[in-house]
Structure 1
Amino acid sequence: MDQNSAKEGKGLSIIAYITIIGVLIAFFMNQEKKNSFTFFHIRQSLGLWLMYFIFGYVISGFDSWMLTYSFWIFFAVLFLYGLLGAISGKANSIPILGDFFQKLFKSLGN
């Protein structure tokens, strides 16, 4: 990805991290331009949101505030890392899960 692609797709990339609705908005708005930088961050954000909902459902079954706070902090750090990457115009994969999300959602953006 080049700097021009990152500059053009920065706005939609930031929107993708806001909420799960933001992922959908960024995806559909990027269908005309097919910006690779935006699709990179859409895949990262979609994976994070899906994992957040799945793990949140499982963790809600436990009655432990320590587990709940650890869960929130873990995902807050990952979302912040991805959001800061989108703001700075960098395509850094999210630690631990980023490469997996890129492979899993590789059909998005083709």
Structure 2
Amino acid sequence: MLTSKERSFLRSLANTLDPIFQVGKEGVHEDNLKEISDALEARELIKISVLKNCLMDAREACHEICDAIGADPVQVIGSKFVIYRKSKEKSKIELPKAKKRRDA
């Protein structure tokens, strides 16, 4: 689960990304999930678009994909969404650390 600070940092990185996958009329299926999982392992942060002829909206598709492959949703805007999953082998993105609270 991402904190709001981490999510904000990832949103700023995703601004320049182009969608590399599309969810179409058939929705999300096993082949898509495998490709998305492989892309997340390589890139950690990806943007996906949902086509107009898809029966589910972007939020539904985002949650279905994230639940199936163990990713974290970062942002859903219109017909596009961004997801993140830390790479198991070669992590590229260093998330900001939470500041420790000082109790006086």
The TM-score normalised by the length of structure 2 is 0.32
TM-score w.r.t. the length of structure 1 is 0.31
Indicate the structure with greater helix content.
1
